[in-house]
Structure 1
Amino acid sequence: MGSPKGAVLPVSDPPRGSGGGSGGGDDALLFKGSAMTRRGAYAALSYMSCAVLLVMFNKAALSSYSFPCANVITLLQIICSTCILYAMRRWKIISFTVAEPRTASDSVNLVPLRTLIHTLPLSLAYLLYMITSMESVRGVNVPMYTTLRRTTVLFTLIVEYLLTKQKYTSPVLGSVALIVFGAFVAGARDLSFDAYGYAIVFLANITTAMYLATINRIGKSSGLNSFGLMWCNGLVCGPILLIWTYIRGDLELTMNFPHLYSPGFQVVMLLSCILAFFLNYSIFLNTTLNSALTQTMCGNLKDVFTIGIGWVIFGGLPFDLLNIIGQCLGFIGSGLYAYCKLKGK
């Protein structure tokens, strides 16, 4: 990745008929009649891996170290992502637009103002998504967090229909209904019920659905690839969040945090920032290569690892029979959608 002559990182779905064909290669379909390419499958797997690790590190910072400022973590993640993008663009490892070669120019004027304004709804949706997602991790335990987050798929269906009139087949709708039903069954006996925590999680579900649908709608019409969209998000969201954290006093609270100079806490924060960059990239890639609904379903499939690891490390939820049944229903629903996707339905 460090050499200008190396293979460029995948950034978006290439136009049909260019590059991949129907033969082999990374753009070949997984199976005959499949609706998912190998690149799409790699993007989905990359997202799931990053998402599991990021939830663990965020939970460690907010709960294990009792860090009080979730917005500061979000701000640091945005700053880290923007710095990484700037360095990679300067070193000509990546480009920001679909048609621009990596070696196009040495000036990092990067994106025109008109394009930045065009992506403004996406950036604002991203800011809401980041803030609510980070705050929702604090409000509930990890197993219940992942359980409630699985209902995002319902909000995604609704938002996609409202924005693009996207419709899905009966098997897909059935898999969504099974996931939502499983989530309610799993949470029926949550003894640690917290109304505020639950409300924040559902708010995070709504903002996530808006963000993913906006990626699919605005991202493909902006002329920017995944890195360019991430760059615009950083330019818009960074200053807004910086001002917000300053007004709320979060920056001062962070400077007085007792574990601020603890090596363990600093390692957790560093890994959280790096993983946030890769997670955001994989979200863009998965959503553009596949769809907003596929991205949401990948979030459901990775929950089996998040729940298991979170329960072992952080605890907080006794797994009774009803909870296990609900979890299994959700995983079956996600598996059913994955089957429909691979079969091209």
Structure 2
Amino acid sequence: MESKLAEKSNTTMMMEFILLGFSDIPRLQWILFGIFLLLYLTILICNSTIILITQTDPALQTPMYFFLSNFSLLDICYATVTVPRMLMDFCTKKGNISLYACSTQMCFVLLLGGTECLLLTAMAYDRYVAVCNPLHYPLVMRHKVCMQLVAASWVTAIQAAIGLTYLIFSLPFCGSNRINHFFCDIPPVLQLACGDTSMNNIAVYVSSMVFFMIPFLLISVSYGKIISNILKLSSARGRAKAFSTCSSHLIVVVLFYGTASITYLRPMSNQSEGTGKLLSLFYTILIPTLNPIVYTLRNKDITMALRKLLNKLLT
């Protein structure tokens, strides 16, 4: 009887965690604060600019830029879920986060990450239709269809995010309440759970396969057909133009899927805490910073729209 009571007390649900963040390098705290603040402001300004020009410039009222504006909004939300909290922890040097705040943050990270995976797939489909079926493009990629693809991405990701978050936080947590991360991500939180987490690990792995591998395979098939069609074009100028419209999206896909898949598809037991934090920095902060730069530098339409906007502001 006493042993059962002791076991029950040891597995009492914790109501607060401590995010350690980058407390292991105290000398660099304010330098990191400045860097992450600068990156966050860059994400806000650059992605907001893309949303503004795609909504106001008549030349950018196409399905491709509709998806791009939604993608930029996702990047802003993705960074906002993690970075302000991290900046606050740099200032307070505490890192305390309640169980409910931690679960909410995790749910939003999963929701936005899952939506981004599916939206990248929709963008690849848009490029496939544009290159391989240009005559049917206006009919296939109607505004209603684009809206449905975006809505389906959100609805599918919401269900998966809520289900995974519930599954993880229904576990008892005991022992240490220190999360060696700068936000409540699945691998470091699961490491603090008591009891058998094998079913949870399987659920995370299956969800990762659904949201990473299946979309990635669909994107790969789309781009395989796109490249095949581009190579058949007789005009060198036509090939260059087709490659330029697709290359930006392909770079973003490689960057995002490369880092996120390594984090969630590796076995939890093999995950290094330092490596996990570094990879998370890539797909939550650095990639949302790079995305608008990649799309701007590689896209003449956006460059021209930016020039028009600057001319209006300066005159």
| TM, length-normalised to structure 2 | 0.30
Which structure shows the bigger proportion of residues in helix conformation? 2
Larger radius of gyration, structure 1 or 2? 2
Relative contact order higher in (CA < 8 Å, ≥ 6 apart): 1
